[in-house]
Chain A
Amino acid sequence: MISAFFRKKELRVRQEILKGIYEENLRIIGKKKGALLRQRTFSPNRLLLILCIAAIVVLAGGNYLDAPLLAEKQTAGGTVMRQLPWSAELPNPSDFKAFITNADVSVSRTFGLGVKTIMIDAGHGGVDSGTRGKMGTAEKDIALDIAKRLKSRLDKYGRFHVVMTRSEDVTLPLNKRVELAREAKADLFVSIHLNYLPSKPINIIETYYFGPSADSKTQELAEQENAGSQYGLGEFKEIIEKLGQKLKLQESRELAYSIQKNLFANMEKENGNAYNFGVKRAPFVVLLGAEVPAVLAEVSCLSNRQEEKQLNTEAHRENIAHDLEAGILDYINKGEAGYGADRYAEKR
């Protein structure tokens, strides 16, 4: 008897409390009790709801009919890029023939048609001088000068929108550069740097695109060039794994080849000590943002005394700008004229 009495009392208390919470929450949203409980029975609301659902069903029905047509159109236009089976890992040279005759690749190579905005990134700047030659020439100054020359050369064509990450001697963190490239919706990204090799009196020319790198020299260089970022090399391993699929690595590689070839061919004539270090992969932060072809060119070498002298002449800097221009145009024309495949195969 007694326990039943208490149970009943407890139940009443519980109901009282639940109601209290309900009313409190009604007050919070500024509704009055009572009015709302009745609202459920209003049929006009119901009717409106049914009408809305009916309308949605009709609209959706129309869409279903359109959908397959749309997909076909896209494929025919050639803008759809299917994921290459090996896109994370590039083919080794012996696979290259298969690589370029693959139908998917020829679709992706029409990419060149789309090149409108070219972003030029002069390495370092402001408090970050980059490397410095024995006579005191700073990488940041030479890189900027060449970048400006390259811009005005490309501007002459009138068909490109050429933008610079920096046009003055200012400090610009790497992640900011990446951000700029994304904001500008760049179709191509070229970062200009100068090398330094203290142990040998040679002039190294090399061009990089983003990717993992096995050799320690390259790792060192990457660490140097990434100094302006807050990210450590450990983190890059992850980034590379994650981004491998997304970055346009095939195109970046081609752009790199194109630039490297032009740079070296001309440099060889001017400086007997020029060495072709070729195209390499390295985890440079600055190449990360663009999901478009992006390369970093070490266009010259400040540790080479003769080269440092020459870099202080306008003519030499103009020549380098010319070589970069030629490399970029080669790459773009290849895509546009569609004659790239054979030429490319030859070169290999």
Chain B
Amino acid sequence: MAQTDTRKKDEVLFVGIDLGTSRSSISAGNGKREWIESFVGWPKDFIAMQVVGKPVLFGSEALQNRLSLDICRPLEHGVIKEGINRNDEAVKEIIRHLIELSGPASGQKIQAVVGVPADTLKVNKLAIRKAVTEFVHSLMVVTEPFAVAYGMNLLNNSMVIDIGAGTADFCIMHGSIPSEEDQKTVLTAGDYIDEQLFSYLSEKYPNSKFNKNMVRQFKEQYSFVRDTPEEIRVEIPVDGKPVMHDIKNEIRRACESILPALAETTAEMIARFDPEFQVKIKNNIVLAGGGSLIRGLREHLQDALKEYGPCKVSCVEDPLFAGSDGALKLAQDMPSKYWEPL
């Protein structure tokens, strides 16, 4: 045992990974932080292989070459099944790629904590572990909002709302590892906004050509709820000619479409606790995930919950890495004896 206790820091690289439906990131003990979009593409045939020049592509590079590739967004539907749709393979590729990006020194053992959307973890615990295990020495999986909470030291009397692409995950912390009761998932999140925006825009401008990708970019650039003084106009080709389109109202409506479910779920989850505890949680609500970047969202939620008494909502500073940073912190804090059997 003396060996394990005196092991040098550099023999082990701790990594925290956020495996997201739309973006995945890694934070490593060596200071590296990297992220990719959670798309994996494999060349369709031999020619495609020659065109793209590699056996597997990721993120935006995969999207750019999508004509030549079979594309997979593995966590999109929340289920990973071996051999179906190559989902498990895609998860493996993402993990392998992220670990490569973190640049471990040769011979370094990798001890990883992987954060996964709460719903995905519920049904795929073993599948996720299997997919990741190949590339790491020891592994622990946790739910994504929990990793965020741990990283921000929100261990007690707090609530994290992680608004991602496929899902918004809620997690209440009360001094122990959250049970299934303490966590909830709703499907009104980023992708849902995209769908709404797409249909609003197609309705308003039937002659303009939109696609899902464009619409998502509009959202990410201009998202807001309630009001904003600026004008929101974008250039879209109509019959080959670029035409300015006013999309302000549609952006607002689409972003606001997730508000009722967010406020209701939050209120409902908090209501299960003692009144004294409720007050504490309500003063400690943190928004995370890409959706937390929607302007005015924090204020709206705070006002909506005031109905039930005073309340304070804040946002994580760096939604892209909040999950992986938290997972890294977990990995570093974990006593070494816990790592061994895993």
A72 at the interface (CB under 8 A from B): no
A37 engages B47 (CB within 8 Å): no
Instruction: Tell me if B47 and A289 are in contact (CB < 8 A).
Output: yes
Chain A residues with CB under 8 Å of B140's CB are 21-22, 25
B271 — which chain A residues lie within 8 A by C-beta? none
Kindly state whether residue B318 has any CB partner on chain A within 8 Å.
Answer: no
The answer to whether B47 touches A231, judged by C-beta atoms less than 8 angstroms apart, is yes
Q: For residue A41, which residue of chain B has the nearest CB? A: B1
- What residues of chain A lie closer than 8 Å to B342, measured between beta carbons? 22, 25-26, 29
Whole-angstrom CA separation of A18 from B141 in the bound complex: 12
1/0 per residue, CB under 8 A from B, across A25-40: the answer is 1101101000011011
Checking B334, B337, B341 against A26 with a beta-carbon cut-off of 8 angstroms, the contacting residue is B341
Segment of A109-117, A237-245, A339-347 engaged in the interface with chain B: A237-245
Which residues of A lie under 8 Å from residue B150 when comparing CB positions? 17
A235 touches B51 (CB 8 A): yes
- Interfacial chain B residues near A13, Cβ < 8 Å: 155-156, 175-176
Main secondary structure on chain A at its contact with chain B? helix
Question: Knowing A16-B175, A40-B340 touch, does A22 contact B46 (C-beta < 8 A)?
Answer: no
Residues of A within 8 A of B50 (CB): 239, 242-243, 288
Q: How far is the CB of A287 from chain B (nearest CB, A)?
A: 11
Q: Is A14 an interface residue (CB 8 A)?
A: yes
Tell me if B204 is interfacial: C-beta within 8 Å of chain A: no
A-side contacts of B155, CB under 8 Å: 10, 13-14, 17
Interface string of B41-59 (1 = CB under 8 A from A): 0000111101101000000
Chain B residues 133-172 with CB under 8 Å of chain A are 139-142, 150, 155-156
Contacting residue for B46 out of A29, A31, A39, A179, CB 8 A: A179
Q: Is there contact, CB below 8 Å, between A21 and B177?
A: yes
- Residue from B150, B176, B338 having most chain A Cβ neighbours under 10 A: B338
Question: Which residues does chain A contribute within 8 Å of B333, judged by CB atoms?
Answer: 14, 18
Is A106's CB within 8 Å of the partner chain B?
A: no
Q: Is B330 an interface residue (CB 8 A)?
A: yes
B82 → A minimal CB distance (Å): 16
Tell me whether A175 and B46 are in contact in the complex, defined as CB-CB below 8 angstroms, given that A18-B338, A235-B51 are known contacts: yes
A17 and B149 CA atoms in complex are apart in Å by 12
- Report if A20-B46 is in contact (Cβ < 8 Å); known contacts: A36-B340, A235-B51: no
A25 to B341, CA, bound (A): 10
Are B341 and A39 interface neighbours, CB within 8 A?
yes
A17 to B340, CA, bound (A): 18
Q: Let me know if B125 is at the binding interface, CB within 8 A.
A: yes
B229 within 8 A of A: no
Whether the pair B340, A178 counts as a contact (CB closer than 8 A) is: no
Please classify how large the interface on chain A is, using the bins under 10, 10 to 19, 20 to 34, 35 or more: 35 or more
> Does A134 reach chain B (CB closer than 8 Å)?
no
Residues of A close to B177: CB separation below 8 A = 16-17, 20-21, 24
Contact status B176-A178, CB under 8 Å? no
Binary interface profile of B, 297-332, with partner A (CB < 8 Å = 1, else 0)?
000000000000000000000000000000000100
Contact between B341 and A230, CB atoms less than 8 A apart = no
Complex CA distance for A109 and B176, rounded to whole angstroms: 73
The reply to whether the CB of B335 lies closer than 8 angstroms to some CB of chain A is yes
B126 within 8 A of A: yes
| A175 and B176 contact, CB distance less than 8 A | no
CB distance from B327 to the nearest CB of A (A): 11
Q: Which of A13, A22, A26, A229 is packed against the most chain B CB atoms within 10 Å?
A: A22
Contact A242 B53 (CB under 8 A): yes
Are A17 and B51 neighbours in the complex by a CB distance under 8 Å? no
Q: Which residues of A contact B129 (CB under 8 A)?
A: 25, 28-29
A97 contacts partner chain B, Cβ-Cβ < 8 Å: no
The interface residues of chain B lying within 8 Å CB-to-CB of A230 are 67-68
Query: Please, which residue of chain A has its CB at the minimum distance from the CB of B67?
Result: A230
* Residue contact B47 to A285, C-beta cutoff 8 Å: yes
Taking Cβ atoms with an 8 Å cutoff, the residues of A that contact B are 10, 13-14, 16-22, 24-26, 28-29, 31, 36-37, 39-40, 174-175, 178-179, 182, 229-231, 235, 238-239, 242-243, 285, 288-289
Interface contacts beyond A18-B330, A28-B126: sample of 20 additional A-B pairs, CB < 8 Å, sorted by A: A13-B175, A16-B176, A17-B150, A17-B175, A18-B338, A21-B177, A22-B342, A26-B341, A26-B342, A28-B129, A31-B341, A37-B337, A40-B340, A175-B47, A178-B46, A230-B68, A239-B50, A242-B53, A288-B47, A289-B46
User: 28 A-B contacts, Cβ less than 8 Å apart?
Assistant: A13-B175, A14-B155, A16-B175, A18-B334, A18-B338, A19-B338, A20-B176, A21-B140, A21-B330, A22-B334, A22-B338, A25-B141, A29-B129, A36-B340, A40-B1, A40-B340, A175-B48, A178-B45, A178-B46, A229-B47, A230-B67, A230-B68, A231-B47, A235-B51, A238-B53, A239-B50, A242-B53, A289-B46
A-B CB proximity, top 7 nearest: A20-B177, A36-B341, A22-B338, A28-B125, A25-B140, A13-B175, A175-B47
